[in-house]
Structure 1
Amino acid sequence: MIKALIFDFDGTILDTESQEYQALKEIFEEHGCELPLDVWGKCIGTANVFDPYEYLEEQYKQPIKHDELREKRMKRSHSLILEQEALPGVVAYLEAAKELGLKIGLASSSTRSWVTGHLERIGLLHYFETIKTADDVDEVKPNPALYLEAAQALGVKSEEAVAFEDSVNGAKAAKAAGMFCVAIPNPVTRHMNFDGTDLVLESLAQKELSDLLHSLNN
């Protein structure tokens, strides 16, 4: 019996990842270079070990000013993200979960200030009984620690929770934690292979929560 929903944040609740990619893509294009999705996509949903400025410098074959480009990217992506609202179906799922008496948590590889700041801005912070972020664990996704911590804080067993994810790294974390996992790929993760998940949706608006729970519980 499913007792809890645990959401990823970036790309699942708010489309921050497309905006981050767009900002970087513009910088690469200004230098006559390209940042392929399959290269950038590998770091989505986990600690970012990929340095796009080193990658750009390798392509550009000339020194670039990393700090200046980093600041430019941050300003551009931030302005794009501030234009975004919750992704389709998210609010409906949160409301439906409340009506069904389900516990609601969040597990994100981002920092707490990033997650709670945006949740407050879009008016969704109050829905979450627990929020676990990079600030709470030694290793982020694909390590299952974030999901295990969230389940424990909600007082449910892993097998009693459904995780909602947009990235392969996140899906691996949820499944390693022993949870059901529903993938909702965003524009920068749609090329990825989500075969290990229990269900793949184009958006949460595609299927009502009650129908989803019925299919997973049977």
Structure 2
Amino acid sequence: MIQTVIFDMDGVIVDTEPVHRYAYFQQFSELKIDVTEEMFTSFTGNSTRNTFQKVKDIFQLDHDVEDLIQRKRTIFNDAFDKKEDLELLTGVEILIKDFHHKGMQLILASSASKVTIERVFNRFKLHDYFTHIVSGEDFPKSKPHPAIFEHAASLSIAPKENCIVIEDSTNGIKAAKAAGIFCIAYNSFHSKDQDLSAADVVINHFNEIDYEKVARYRLDINK
């Protein structure tokens, strides 16, 4: 029986991707580098640090990675605070409250920085529902490396076999499966050009799952 749900954040709980995208491309413009859509899509699921390390290597930039991170963070924070229409994704708040009310443990495992996670959790008052928050900035390798999900599962009240991950990106799904964790892929309108085929289950809306359905996923998959 599933006892712990590990949530990704961007594209699953809230769509901050347009704000991140704006911040990245604003900075790319400042750096006078041409990052293609294909290249940018390949960074999905990476931490900001690993994204800029790749950009630095590809374009042979002299800038310090920490300086690049701080500049992007400044642009993002300014844009985030001004974006009044930022909302949780449709149906996810109901799902989170349903899980929590019925005793499911919830853990966040996001590639976002701790600062960004805190801004989102404070804005939408999510702290009461999650027992642990895991940020990708604490790991040297980003998704699809499984480290972040392996660590999240180690914080679970149950064995890894009784955990699931909810993800929306190719790299996130690969990371969950590499960690040996059952993965639900959310086919988010906001996460384009992502390959969800490696997931165990694909949903198009959060009303397709609830506590009862998720709790028995491991049993169903073993039939």
TM class, shorter-length: 0.7 to 0.9
Residue 17 (structure 2) pairs with residue 17 (structure 1): yes
Structure-1 residue corresponding to 2:154 = 152
Change (3 A) 1:99 1:170: same
Q: By how many angstroms is 1:102 displaced?
A: 1.3
Amino acid paired to 2:138? D
Given the two structures, how large is their TM-score scaled by the length of structure 2? 0.76
Amino acid paired to 1:43? F
Structure-1 residue corresponding to 2:64 = none
| CA deviation vs aligned residue, 1:162-202 (integer Å, no higher than 9, x gap) | 10111111111111111111111334533221111011122
Unpaired segments ≥5 residues, structure 2: 60-67
From 159, 173, 176, the equivalent of 2:175 is 173
Amino acid paired to 1:205? N
| CA deviation vs aligned residue, 1:61-114 (integer Å, no higher than 9, x gap) | xxxxx99x9689536742565531211121112111123211110111122221
Determine helix, strand or coil for the equivalent of 2:10.
coil
Amino acid paired to 1:191? D
Q: 95-104 or 78-87: which moved more?
A: 78-87
Amino acid paired to 2:4? A
Task: Work out whether residues 107 and 132 of structure 2, in 8 Å CA contact, stay in contact via their aligned partners in 1.
Answer: yes
Superposed counterparts of 1:79-94, under 5 Å: 79=81, 83-94=85-96
| CA deviation vs aligned residue, 1:98-152 (integer Å, no higher than 9, x gap) | 2321111011112222112211111112111011113433323222111121121
Determine helix, strand or coil for the equivalent of 1:181.
strand
Structure-2 residue corresponding to 1:58 = none
Q: For 1:82 and 1:43, how far apart are their aligned partners in 2?
A: 27
Given the two structures, how large is their TM-score scaled by the length of structure 1? 0.77
Determine helix, strand or coil for the equivalent of 1:189.
coil
Determine helix, strand or coil for the equivalent of 1:182.
strand
% same residue:
26
Task: Work out whether residues 8 and 167 of structure 2, in 8 Å CA contact, stay in contact via their aligned partners in 1.
Answer: yes
C-alpha root-mean-square deviation of aligned residues, in Å?
3.2
Change (3 A) 1:113 1:82: farther
Q: By how many angstroms is 1:207 displaced?
A: 3.2
Q: For 2:45 and 2:84, how far apart are their aligned partners in 1?
A: 20
Structure-1 residue corresponding to 2:7 = 7
Task: Work out whether residues 45 and 111 of structure 2, in 8 Å CA contact, stay in contact via their aligned partners in 1.
Answer: yes
Q: 172-181 or 137-146: which moved more?
A: 137-146
From 126, 131, 134, the equivalent of 1:129 is 131
Determine helix, strand or coil for the equivalent of 1:154.
coil
Q: By how many angstroms is 1:214 displaced?
A: 3.5
Structure-2 residue corresponding to 1:113 = 115
Change (3 A) 1:41 1:4: same
Q: For 2:105 and 2:73, how far apart are their aligned partners in 1?
A: 39
Residue 40 (structure 2) pairs with residue 40 (structure 1): yes
Structure-2 residue corresponding to 1:201 = 203
